[in-house]
């Protein structure tokens, strides 16, 4: 038999993971079978099982891939040269894009990861690892911003990182469950204003975006976009 190239292997793996994400987001983890993934992917049963021996293996691979993609993007973004405010603006845009209708299936997948973690030790361990990676990144980002004078000296970095993660996860859950009552267009400036008021120095708001209506800075004045 001809040898399959690494590029083809990766393409096939991505095809399977995309099919699995569609099934899990639509039906949930427990209601999805490997046969559902086979039908969604258009591949053979043997092709699916040659990459992923079980539904749990498939679910874990999907969780790891999505978490690694997001963290790689954030690490690359924040290690570039340039003002911190520009980077946080792009990061907030990235997060709110995740909550949009076009990417809601990915948001639902993240909720599935949290839900299934309560019933599977393997998935719980992987979720704990994901959360700790997010915490470490947020701590690093806030520490760097504090060093540059964009975060107040009195801010408890560890607690601020935990609150930011909880705020993001809460928005994700509400959006995925269809329970969010305010549009993303209204939430985004409110989200930025809340973070600025709680964390930023008055002269240099860390969370600002040029495409938004003016946000309220900690001194009560309006600040429209930019650093």
Whether the pLDDT of residue 195 is over 50: the answer is: yes
Residues 184 and 100 sit within 8 Å (Cβ to Cβ)? yes
Tally of CB atoms within 10 A around 199: 22
pLDDT digits (tens, 9 = 90+) for 130-171: 889 999 999 999 999 999 888 999 999 999 999 999 999 899
Band the pLDDT of 17: cuts 50, 70, 90. Answer: very high
Which positions ≥6 away from 173 have C-beta within 8 Å?
Answer: 111, 114
| CA-based nearest residue to 126, from 140, 108, 112, 106 | 112
Q: What is the spatial distance between Cα 74 and Cα 97, in angstroms, rounded to a whole number? A: 14
Whether the pLDDT of residue 103 is over 60: the answer is: yes
Residues 172 and 111 sit within 8 Å (Cβ to Cβ)? yes
Q: What is the dihedral of CA 138, 100, 55, 132, to 10 degrees?
A: 10
Q: What is the mean pLDDT of residues 108-120?
A: 81
pLDDT digits (tens, 9 = 90+) for 54-99: 999 998 898 888 888 888 999 899 888 888 888 888 999 988 988 8
| pLDDT at residue number 69 | 86
Residue found by looking up tokens 């076009």 in the block = 102
Band the pLDDT of 212: cuts 50, 70, 90. Answer: very low
């Amino acid at each position: 038999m001809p040898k399959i190239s690494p590029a083809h292997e990766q393409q096939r793996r991505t095809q399977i993971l995309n099919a699995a994400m569609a099934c899990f987001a639509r039906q949930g983890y427990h209601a999805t079978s490997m046969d559902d993934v086979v039908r969604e992917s258009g591949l053979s049963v043997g092709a699916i099982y040659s990459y992923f021996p079980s539904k749990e293996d498939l679910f874990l691979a999907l969780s790891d891939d999505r978490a690694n993609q997001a963290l790689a993007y954030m690490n690359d973004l924040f290690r570039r040269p340039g003002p911190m405010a520009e980077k946080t603006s792009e990061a907030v845009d990235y997060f709110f894009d995740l909550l949009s209708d076009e990417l809601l299936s990915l948001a639902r997948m993240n909720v599935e990861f949290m839900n299934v973690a309560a019933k599977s030790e393997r998935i719980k361990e992987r979720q704990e690892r994901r959360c700790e990676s997010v915490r470490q990144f947020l701590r690093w980002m806030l520490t760097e911003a504090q060093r540059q004078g964009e975060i107040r000296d009195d801010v408890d970095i560890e607690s601020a990182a935990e609150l930011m993660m909880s705020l993001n996860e809460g928005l994700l859950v509400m959006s995925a469950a269809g329970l969010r009552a305010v549009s993303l267009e209204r939430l985004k400036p409110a989200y930025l204003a809340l973070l600025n008021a709680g964390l930023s120095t008055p002269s240099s708001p860390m969370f600002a975006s040029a495409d938004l209506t003016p946000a309220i800075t900690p001194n009560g004045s309006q600040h429209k976009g930019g650093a």
